[in-house]
Amino acid sequence: MKGNLAAYTLCGGKSTRMGEEKGLVEFQGKSFVEWILEAVFPIVSNPVLVTKNPAYQSFNLEMIQDVIEDQGPLGGILTALRHSDSDFVLILSCDIPKITTEVLTFLVEKSREAPEKITFLSDGKNDYPLIGIYPKQQLKFVEKSILKGELKLRQFVESMPNQRIVLNHGRIPTVQNINTKAQLQSLSQTY
């Protein structure tokens, strides 16, 4: 699936809880996006950043802006699906610095079992639809949802054919979202 898989990291969002651009927050000497890209590069050689912030130009990757602004994560997914020539799109949030190539490879392998479904990770309590693989064929449904003003990602995913992949306990820290300074401090003390 490597040649038929594109990867997009959603770097938009207001970052109100963090107080600064989340993807550029430093953790152990690297930005969150750098950690994510390290995990993605073995799977997809040309990941794309969905952002209009020029600060991300330092990564020397293709950057695209939301086709419709202020539509939340679903708008970022719309942008990625419209932009991609691949049949499958790996969507990642920019606040998961502990994500690993191993976990992403596992997600890709599981998505092959049900290629018509949105495949995303879960820790058993929380779902992570922003660590997921979205079939390009879902584009028309994303567009319809946005046109109706139905922007809640979780509701959208649950309304579509989907496959929830529950991680074993040892892999759960890899999907942890870091949304606040307190969570970042806790992560820094743990690792």
Alpha helices in the chain (DSSP H): 32-40, 72-83, 101-113, 139-147, 153-159, 181-190
List average pLDDT for each run of 10 residues in the chain, which is 191 residues long. 83 68 91 97 97 95 96 97 98 97 98 97 96 98 97 97 94 88 81 66
Tokens coding 145: 């949802």
- Asked if 77 contacts 64 with a C-beta cutoff of 8 angstroms, the reply is no
- Contacts of the segment 103-108: beta carbons below 8 A, 24+ positions apart: 103/39, 103/167, 103/171, 103/174, 103/175, 104/39, 104/40, 104/43, 104/131, 105/42, 105/43, 106/165, 106/171, 107/131, 107/132, 107/133, 107/165, 108/1, 108/5, 108/43, 108/133
CATH number belonging to the domain at 2-190, selected among 3.40.109.10, 2.60.40.1180, 3.90.550.10, 3.40.50.2300: 3.90.550.10
Pick the closest to residue 105 from 79, 84, 133 (CA basis). 133
pLDDT value at position 1? 45
| Residues in Cβ contact with 179 at an 8 Å cutoff, skipping those fewer than 6 apart | 17, 18, 22, 95
pTM (two decimals): 0.94
Biggest alpha carbon distance in the chain?
A: 44
- Asked if 124 contacts 81 with a C-beta cutoff of 8 angstroms, the reply is no
pLDDT value at position 180? 83
pLDDT value at position 18? 65
